[in-house]
Amino acid sequence: MRIGEGVEWGLHCCLTLAWLGEQPVATAKFATLFELPPAYLKKRLQALVRAGILTSTPGAGGGFLLARAPERITLMDVVSALEGPDELFRCTEIRQNGVEPSPEFALPCGVATAMRRAELAWRRELAAQTVADLVAAAPPGAAARMRQRYARLVT
Amino acid sequence: MRIGEGVEWGLHCCLTLAWLGEQPVATAKFATLFELPPAYLKKRLQALVRAGILTSTPGAGGGFLLARAPERITLMDVVSALEGPDELFRCTEIRQNGVEPSPEFALPCGVATAMRRAELAWRRELAAQTVADLVAAAPPGAAARMRQRYARLVT
């Protein structure tokens, strides 16, 4: 059980876009900045577009932009976009196997409820943190350094 | 990203052992009770033994028992035993790719820190819940019904 590497990629791309402001960034530029495989990265960025987190403009000078303010993009948004909406814990109701149907099965399974309580704590924490918080937590000068790196990349 | 079905199996087996008290339960009996594939189930139960959650006695009349009181077995114990100790989010430090080494990389990555904050909330909630809590949350009569089912199984 592990979150795919795409989440790390997606969050760093969102943070980079927040730092660069109105500058659209193409997949190839992100791939160079972070030394990532362009084809795989593109799929992740397209998933963020489908989820309404990024916008994409084609052609020369095009690229990806944040679709909304960094304050309005949560880590939960990015994780859901890249990992899908499925729960971490899937209850297959094995408690009902091998027994007669019973009214007690109308109540949620205690095991599933307990596991979901933990999952909810995880989701709540992811939903409470935004790309703007990542910007705020970055070391001093990180945004300026990224803008310099990006400027060197395009010239 | 999804927790394996073994966690559901393992938790229900622990709950069943808590209900049955001092009764050792063999893999085959658990497999019959929950209609699970015995070979796969056995691997999960053995992982719980290796983690010190269950004990196992071989031979006729043998089987699995809880290794300690249900109050002292957390959901985190069971999840760690079955899913391994790895973190949900693995940071591969892509922030360091393509740039010169910098003292700022001695500080933890903000993306990883944010993801781990959420993961910690999940782990904390799993660690706060025990098999005894599952017993307490079960519908009235659930323990008695399981004891009857088990008695029918062995006669």
Q: According to the model, what pLDDT value does residue A155 have?
A: 67
Mean pLDDT over B1-23 rounds to 93
Q: Work out the mean pLDDT of chain A and round it to a whole number.
A: 93
Mean pLDDT over B31-60 rounds to 96
- Taking the mean position of all CA atoms in its chain, how far away is CA A89? 19
When scoring B5, B125, B145, B146 by the number of chain A Cβ atoms within 10 A, the one with the most, hence best to mutate, is B125
CA distance A94 to chain B (A): 6
With CA atoms as reference, report the closest residue to B11 among A107, A20, A115: A115
Q: Which residue of B has its CA nearest to A115?
A: B126
Dist CA A73 CA A54 (whole Å): 10
Q: DSSP assignment, residue B70?
A: G
Give how many domains chain B has, as a whole number: 1
CA distance A48 to chain B (A): 17
Q: According to the model, what pLDDT value does residue B78 have?
A: 97
List pLDDT tens digits, range A8-20. 999 999 999 999 9
Q: What ipTM goes with this model?
A: 0.91
Q: Coil, strand or helix: which one is B74?
A: strand
Q: What type of residue is B94?
A: I
Buried b / exposed e over B32-67, threshold 16 CB at 10 Å, is bbbebeeeebbebbebbeebebbebeeeeeebbbbb
Query: Cβ B115–A75 below 8 Å, yes or no?
Result: yes
CA distance B26 to chain A (A): 17
Query: Cβ B98–A126 below 8 Å, yes or no?
Result: no
Between A and B, how many residue pairs show a Cβ–Cβ distance under 8 A? 163
Q: Work out the mean pLDDT of chain B and round it to a whole number.
A: 93
User: CATH no. for residue A40?
Assistant: 1.10.10.10
Buried b / exposed e over A19-38, threshold 16 CB at 10 Å, is bbeeebbbbebbbbbbebee
List pLDDT tens digits, range B116-149. 999 999 999 999 999 999 999 998 889 999 999 9
Share of chain A above pLDDT 70, in %: 99
> Environment class of residue B135 by beta-carbon count within 10 Å: exposed (0-12), middle (13-18) or buried (19+)?
middle
Mean pLDDT over A41-45 rounds to 97
Q: According to the model, what pLDDT value does residue A11 have?
A: 97
Predicted TM-score of the model (pTM): 0.91
Q: Which of A55-59, A96-100, B133-137 has the lowest mean pLDDT?
A: A96-100
DSSP one-letter string for B77-133: HHHHHHH-S--SS----GGGTTS---GGGGSPPHHHHHHHHHHHHHHHHHHT-BHHH
Contact residues, chain A, for B32 at CB < 8 Å: 98
Q: According to the model, what pLDDT value does residue B102 have?
A: 79
Query: Cβ B83–A1 below 8 Å, yes or no?
Result: yes
Range of the domain at A86: 5-154
